[in-house]
Chains A and B, each alone.
Chain A
Amino acid sequence: SQQGEEDPQALSIQEGENATMNCSYKTSINNLQWYRQNSGRGLVHLILIRSNEREKHSGRLRVTLDTSKKSSSLLITASRAADTASYFCAFGPYTGTASKLTFGTGTRLQVTL
């Protein structure tokens, strides 16, 4: 399967703790993206990291990419209850016109007070 694999499948932490989720893929990529999906909602784009980048930050998010290991991680620091959601990595060729994204299996994050 070309689907991305994410682990853990589920993660439960307390508010203020950090959350780390990992994504592994099998194909060559030119970028990898992370999306958040709140229950019953659409996906929201969080961050994109290009294949020539190893780390990227956006607010409380830190993404790393290791193309030699075909893996990426998403770190959410100082988590909040509002971070409770499912998180998906996504990758695929961007042709300049469209991205044919393959999504990972997702990590369900629960942040409790």
Chain B
Amino acid sequence: DTAVSQTPKYLVTQMGNDKSIKCEQNLGHDTMYWYKQDSKKFLKIMFSYNNKELIINETVPNRFSPKSPDKAHLNLHINSLELGDSAVYFCASSLQAEQYFGPGTRLTVT
């Protein structure tokens, strides 16, 4: 069974569009995260939620809005997409310090 899943796996869209990425975990973890990995493989945390409450909010443009309907789901909505948003976005979850990552969503903005 998949532990942390993301949809879609690939997303190609044009500048200015709005898109969402969904994440679900079946590990029973309380905390979920969004990360962005750029073309140089640099991985940076964006947000974290614990039991539906936002607890980490890094310096991310407010075009990015996370939403956690319940502790097993954390979605990422991006408004007015820009070329620089092209990256791989990873969702992760944790119970303690170790984090469990999803397979990633490759976003390409043209």
Contact = CB atoms under 8 A, between A and B. Distances in A.
**Which bracket fits the contact residues of B?**
20 to 34
Interface in A83-113: 86, 88, 94, 97-103, 105-106
B103 A42 contact: yes
A43 B101 contact: yes
Interface string A25-66: 000000101010100111111001000000000000000000
Contacts of B101: 35, 42-44
Interface string B86-105: 00001010101111111110
B97 A100 contact: no
Interface of A: 3, 31, 33, 35, 37, 40-45, 48, 86, 88, 94, 97-103, 105-106
B34 interface: no
